[in-house]
Amino acid sequence: MGASKDFFIPVSFTVIGEGEEPEVASNVQSENNDGPIKFIEYKDGGLEAYSKADAWIFSAKDCPKCNHTKAVLLPKLFEQENIERPTVVTVDLDKPENFKFLSELEKKLNAKTSGETPIVLWKNKLIYGNDTIKELLKSN
């Protein structure tokens, strides 16, 4: 019989406050883009190359908060704005050239960076972090 070993299993969870219901990600991004939002991966060319995009999201692919924004918060935002089958450009911040693109965009828009992700470009304004995106949803 082999020796037993202790090992660490990373687990993340969200604590739901009393009386709150969890938000369920029902609209998860899929490979074939058959969901309510059409996601396009940014390749190059700046904003002009994707002029028909309804929004942009700057994030890392393995970021849980970013995936929550894509699956839950963006669909709510588009629903509030009555935008059907919106197009969202996804910018992978794990790529140095995309991080440089974001930095240039922040300068162009005179954005006050907070360092939080995801970052959503919405109506020519950069929105940092899920809490700010949730505030935008409440104000609409």
Q: Is the pLDDT of residue 70 over 80?
A: yes
* pLDDT at site 3: 67
- Which structural domains are found in the chain, ordered by start? 38-139 (3.40.30.10)
Torsion, Cα 13 15 20 26, to 10 degrees, reads -10
Kindly report, residue by residue over 74-98, the tens digit of the pLDDT: 999 999 999 999 999 999 999 999 9
* pLDDT at site 7: 57
Q: Which alpha helices (H) appear in 1-72, and where do they start and end?
A: 64-68
Q: Is the pLDDT of residue 114 over 50?
A: yes
Backbone phi and psi for residue 130, each to the nearest 5 degrees, phi listed first:
-65, -35
Higher pLDDT, 9 or 88: 88
Cα 73 to Cα 116: distance, rounded to the nearest angstrom: 16
Residue count of the chain? 140
* pLDDT at site 17: 46
Cα 115 to Cα 55: distance, rounded to the nearest angstrom: 19
Place of tokens 């998860």: 28
Asked whether the beta carbons of 42 and 50 are under 8 A apart, the reply is yes
Cα 132 to Cα 25: distance, rounded to the nearest angstrom: 19
Cα 15 to Cα 135: distance, rounded to the nearest angstrom: 20
User: Whole-model pTM?
Assistant: 0.75
Kindly report, residue by residue over 21-51, the tens digit of the pLDDT: 444 443 444 444 667 899 999 999 999 999 9
